[in-house]
Structure 1
Amino acid sequence: MDHPTPALPQRFNFARHILEINAERSSKVAYIDDHGTVTYGELEQRIRRFAAGIRASGIHREERILLIMQDSANLPVAFLGALFAGAIPVPVNTLLPADDYAYMIEHSGARMVIASSPLLPCVQEAFGKVSVRPELIVSEGSANDLRSMDNLLAAEPLAVSLCADTSCDDFAFWLYSSGSTGRPKGTVHSHGNLFWTAELYAKPVLGIKTDDVVFSAAKLFFAYGLGNGLTFPLSVGATAILMAERPTPQAVFARLTEHKPTIFYGVPTLYVAMLASPSLPGKEDVALRVCTSAGEALPKEVGEKFHDHFGCEILDGLGSTEMLHIFISNRNGGVRYGTSGQPVPGYDIELRDENGQPVAPGEIGDLYIRGPSAALLYWANREKSRATFLGDWLKSGDKYCADTDGYYSYAGRNDDMLKVSGQYVSPIEVESALMGHPAVLECAVIGKTDSEGLVKTTAYVVLAESRTAARELEDELKAFVKGRLAPHKYPREILFVSDLPKTATGKIQRFKLRALQD
């Protein structure tokens, strides 16, 4: 039964909402990070102190604060503290070069930057490239003459009555897109958007409850990770685990076995690596009741193998920075691996052809979404805003098809689609077929134009440790795909590689593979 959806008042501040619903949980642990634990009572005090600290520092309503912070309890404090004060937090990828940080500082007009100590050299390099330098705060400890976040938190707590009187539609925070097709876009979200992702997805689909312990491999700067590790647990009073280091299988296994999370949020490439690791813990060593996957399509075989090992479903789904979190998802008891699931109640989905007309079941179309968590605009980018935000609808840039039961299957990004022998081929479909072979650990499929100007399907394959590349294996993989798909879809060329280029959030960067063909 779906969770009843409450009405959202017009005057609404998400940070104040979180403090109010957890007021009776002051002694319960809200966060476990690399430094220890933070209770809900301590979290509230730090949020209100941070809000007072930035106001005392001259930060005004709707001014931006760039958060270049590794995952620790300080990041939710800064994010929610900024919301409480009416400022705009902008959490950004912690793995970027200095040029990207310089661009984001300039583009956002940030008045303050809060950075984790290990990232300071890169951030200070970025400061040398900007025309106006905001105040730089170090989030943990101290560094030279820089002010520390502890200094901000020394302020007297801002009274709840002095919380910024925002509306549910006011600008609340930004997230920068990955920028795979150009400069990153500053995606502007409202206070209400955070509320709706919890009410429409986390509670009814994920089934998150107060006694859950959650752990997200996706970091908080990622829209997926922000919901997983901040919005969702705090919306029900659950406990969240945060870690600063990269989510390697070993690091993930340590948290799964030590802290026993009941909900784990991963991405397909991580699930593949976990299952391939000789250190994979047994079902009896963990407490998982449900897992999720997003970022890109979860291969059918990976979901089935994980479920067989842990007895726990992976709810693969589709979300985006622009929609803030997942709007198509599998659900417990109705999982169909190899699909993204069905629309999350509260969201409308349409697949349209090149003329904007609906496509028939089984046909590939452009994905359009309508729902209450949609971003408001891209900051200072009217052209991209007008191309993406079309009235009530958002054009995602993804290709999908749906079956007669309403399950949606990913066909790739618009730029990834191939036309072979006059027919569209989804690289995702070919990759899924290849992943069914035991020799294949990971793969990515692109189009390669031959000497006659014809597009041929080319696969880059990372092999499982037990197999070595050979001409016989290439022929075997081609025959394997031919036995699963229409003849024109099999890869005409298979290239064996040691790894695939990926974003910080684990998405395979097919555009980099295409560049190798030029």
Structure 2
Amino acid sequence: MNQNAALYFVDRHLAEGRGAKTAFREADGAQRSLTYAELADQSARFAGALTANGIHRDERVAMLVRDQLEFPVAFWGALKAGAVPVPLNTLLAAPVYEVILNDSRASMLIVSAQLWEVVKPAIKANTFLRKIVVIGAAPEGCTSHADFVKDAPAAETALADDDEMAFWLYSSGSTGAPKGVRHLHASLKATSDTFGQQIMGLREDDVVYSVAKMFFAYGLGNAMTFPMAVGATTIIQAGRPTPKSVFAIMKTERPTVFCGVPTLYAALVAEQEKKGTAPEHCIRLCASAGEALPREIGLRWEKLWGAEIVDGVGSTEMLHIFLSNRPGDIAYGTSGVAVPGYEVRLVDEQDNDVPQGEVGELLVRGPSSAEGYWKRRDKSQSTFQGYWTRTGDKYHCTPEGRFVYSGRTDDMFKVSGIWVSPFEVEQALGEHPAVLESAVVARADAQDLLKPAAFIVIKDGQSVDTEALKEHVKAKIGMWKYPRWITVVDELPKTATGKIQRFKLRETGGEA
């Protein structure tokens, strides 16, 4: 039996009568659309073009593609050919692309024309790329996507097993150089069957809008596999999601499911509160991941939008969310409980289970874990330990059985001999009406003892007394946890996925 994931997510819909249903619609640019039948045909022809151009089974196809119709065509087309698509972060710099393209040994690169000048310097010395396809006008030495697929025969979908390599994703690199994470065909359906169906409950009549881009794990599920599993429609946005553009898409495209990240939820709430009116939308449910959603943001969003935010935690290594709140059972400020099909544990430095209420590292086991990292044997062995995957996240479990985020393993520090969670301090800061967002790191005082140092972004038109803000934190979470230093900044360093890069703040010694 052929278990190639493309058969389930793409071709199955033709046999089930959804060929004419819109699968993807662009919200910006030319505002093109693609039905399930058109996706099946175009992905098959992309597969045929790969074969015709000498791209063989198991070879990597690097995808530096914005959220546009060609993304699902290339991704599923590569799977149909038996090649390995490698979606890349579209917001990196040329030196990082050079590292990734050499590390992956991709034989082909498909790139959106808008990104060509950025990646061009990265391929000058590359000896692995045999074909470069540009979506749009093709520079000299490259082939346009239109010419690449022109007259290509529709290929038969390659035979594949559930546990066969399907695609790679490169980790966001929030704590170092990106690593190639290798995923299997079965993992795509595993995440849509669990979080997509049993938590979010996506339906065929849903219209899904994910501001999280398809190049990374959270967006790949939200915008592609979850809606495609049920034959729903996805709204895609190639450009940068700003409050203005997101509000416009909510109004014109009328999505019923919205998937965002905490940073954007905070910005949307602040903008809507400034307007002083109710938002125009028809959203029934939202999802959040990437970082823990501050309790105050979740409550304010639900008050304005009347729609719950299902906040959870996932990772590139597990492909999507494995620990989550669920509709009708939301406790903002927590990551909820294990998603059906997954198990989690909290362990100490010796891998012993910690007592209830104490902080430990989160371990997870489930059907979507990656096979390992590419060319990172030591890191693979330390992260993927039998059935369990180390997340690098610190949590504690409440008496009600809910998991509460405490920070990354390398973010935690002790004050007066007691562990302090940067996220707990950030959440207290975020409950002050003038604070838009914050980041907390450890900084040594005059006695070389670690204390919290906070970097904060203030809402437009607001001001703040830092001493009063310290008192606010003391009152919220305890006398010893308040930030001894508070620095106001215009913005916080983040990855393209919206995660705060606290290591960059730590590198400054906790000073702006």
| Kept after mapping to 1: 8 A contact 2:78/2:84 | yes
3-state SS, counterpart of residue 478 of structure 1: helix
3-state SS, counterpart of residue 92 of structure 2: coil
Deviation digits for residues 34-83 of structure 1 (CA, Å, limit 9, x no counterpart): 33111111111101100101011111111000000111010011000000
| Kept after mapping to 2: 8 A contact 1:13/1:84 | yes
3-state SS, counterpart of residue 409 of structure 1: strand
Superposition deviation, residue 413 in structure 1:
0.4
Deviation digits for residues 448-482 of structure 1 (CA, Å, limit 9, x no counterpart): 0123210011111111223224xxx1111111111
| Range that drifts further, 360-369 or 134-143 | 134-143
Alpha-carbon distance between aligned partners in 2 of 1:284 and 1:229, rounded to the nearest angstrom = 23
Of 278, 294, 303, 1:299 maps to 294
Cross-structure match for 2:266: 272
Cross-structure match for 2:95: 99
Superposition deviation, residue 157 in structure 1:
4.1
Say yes or no: does 1:142 pair with 2:135: no
* CA 1:281–1:91: 2 relative to 1, 3 Å: farther
Cross-structure match for 2:173: 179
Alpha-carbon distance between aligned partners in 2 of 1:281 and 1:149, rounded to the nearest angstrom = 46
| Range that drifts further, 141-150 or 206-215 | 141-150
Alpha-carbon distance between aligned partners in 2 of 1:334 and 1:235, rounded to the nearest angstrom = 24
Deviation digits for residues 246-298 of structure 1 (CA, Å, limit 9, x no counterpart): 11111111111110000000000001111122586965621100001000010
Of 21, 37, 42, 2:12 maps to 21
3-state SS, counterpart of residue 187 of structure 1: strand
Cross-structure match for 1:62: 58
Letter in 2 for 1:26: G
Alpha-carbon distance between aligned partners in 2 of 1:55 and 1:192, rounded to the nearest angstrom = 24
Alpha-carbon distance between aligned partners in 2 of 1:153 and 1:209, rounded to the nearest angstrom = 33
* CA 1:284–1:131: 2 relative to 1, 3 Å: closer
Alpha-carbon distance between aligned partners in 1 of 2:88 and 2:488, rounded to the nearest angstrom = 34
3-state SS, counterpart of residue 109 of structure 2: strand
Of 429, 433, 438, 1:438 maps to 433
Say yes or no: does 1:76 pair with 2:72: yes
| Kept after mapping to 2: 8 A contact 1:50/1:155 | no
Alpha-carbon distance between aligned partners in 2 of 1:43 and 1:412, rounded to the nearest angstrom = 41
* CA 1:283–1:331: 2 relative to 1, 3 Å: farther
Letter in 2 for 1:232: F
Cross-structure match for 2:253: 259
Say yes or no: does 1:493 pair with 2:485: yes
Cross-structure match for 2:24: 31
| Kept after mapping to 1: 8 A contact 2:11/2:40 | no
Alpha-carbon distance between aligned partners in 1 of 2:296 and 2:176, rounded to the nearest angstrom = 33
| Range that drifts further, 129-138 or 331-340 | 129-138
| Kept after mapping to 2: 8 A contact 1:319/1:326 | yes
Say what the alpha-carbon RMSD is for the aligned residues: 1.5
| Kept after mapping to 1: 8 A contact 2:105/2:129 | no
Superposition deviation, residue 142 in structure 1:
3.4
Name the % identity: 47
Deviation digits for residues 318-337 of structure 1 (CA, Å, limit 9, x no counterpart): 00000000001111110000
Deviation digits for residues 175-199 of structure 1 (CA, Å, limit 9, x no counterpart): 0012233321000000000000000
Structural mapping, 1:137-216, within 5 Å: 137-159=133-155, 162-216=156-210
Letter in 1 for 2:501: Q
3-state SS, counterpart of residue 53 of structure 1: helix
Of 497, 501, 516, 2:508 maps to 516
Alpha-carbon distance between aligned partners in 1 of 2:277 and 2:196, rounded to the nearest angstrom = 27
TM-score, scaled relative to structure 2: 0.96
Superposition deviation, residue 306 in structure 1:
0.3
Alpha-carbon distance between aligned partners in 2 of 1:441 and 1:180, rounded to the nearest angstrom = 21
Letter in 2 for 1:319: G
3-state SS, counterpart of residue 42 of structure 2: helix
| Kept after mapping to 1: 8 A contact 2:165/2:185 | yes
3-state SS, counterpart of residue 90 of structure 2: coil
> Structure 2 regions of 5+ residues with no counterpart?
none
Alpha-carbon distance between aligned partners in 2 of 1:190 and 1:184, rounded to the nearest angstrom = 19
Alpha-carbon distance between aligned partners in 2 of 1:207 and 1:445, rounded to the nearest angstrom = 35
Say yes or no: does 1:477 pair with 2:472: no
